A and B are shown apart, each in its own frame.
Chain A
């Protein structure tokens, strides 16, 4: 059974810092990995999708890497801003099966 772990569970940083969120998964037989952002009481916004054949994806200040063999992914956020404060969720997928989620990292960026 696939299990996804995210570390740290919570993180508080001053504005402007670069930060890394970690995600690990137990079964490396995945098709893709997706990072989401969730604001309190809201739905999920997809940030980055990495196919299993890819090693990283970038969007603006965000960069996600994937090491499938070791079962790890990182989300790098450059020059963090207060607006980045949210919960970041990592999820892995395999074909048409539903995504398996980690518990998320609650990020707080302090002005």
Chain B
């Protein structure tokens, strides 16, 4: 089945630094990937839609200059948290759908636990 690989799984960074999270579709091409954020005991909230070769679409309330998304190829999307602050500490997870694979379900990465100290 479709596999999405996400790295790193866990990162601790100092306040003010930037962190890059990678999301790769391993066995299919993903023209669109979605980035979610999940706070403790809360559900997944969509942050942005990443489109290959074009600008990402951000949800209301999500700062596009803070959460930089790059989708440079059909198999890779990156989320960079710039000038991270403790309130950015959260669980970030990406997803994609193998539109050519015959199924219609979404596959999710394993998530990245970001802690900003």
Contacts and interface: CB of A to CB of B under 8 A. Distances in A.
Interface of A: 31-32, 34, 36, 41-44, 46, 49, 51, 89, 91, 93, 96, 98-99, 101-104
Bin the interface of chain B by size. 20 to 34
Contacts of B91: 41
B85 interface: no
Contact of A101 (B44, B110, B111, B113): B44
B43 A102 contact: yes
Nearest to B91: A41
Contacts of B110: 42-43
Given A41-B91, A43-B6, A99 B43 contact: no
Interface centre among B6, B49, B95 (most CB of A within 10 A): B95
Contacts of A103: 42-43
Interface in B1-58: 6, 32, 34, 42-44, 46, 49
Interface string B75-117: 0000000000000000101010101000111111111010000
Contact of A98 (B42, B46, B105, B113): B46
B104 A44 contact: no
Contacts of A36: 108
Interface centre among A36, A89, A98 (most CB of B within 10 A): A98
A98 B43 contact: no
B111 A89 contact: no
B93 A31 contact: no
B104 A99 contact: no
A43 B34 contact: no
A91 B42 CA distance: 14
A34 B107 CA distance: 11
Given A43-B6, A96-B97, A98-B34, A34 B43 contact: no
A32 B104 contact: yes
Contacts of B95: 44, 98-99
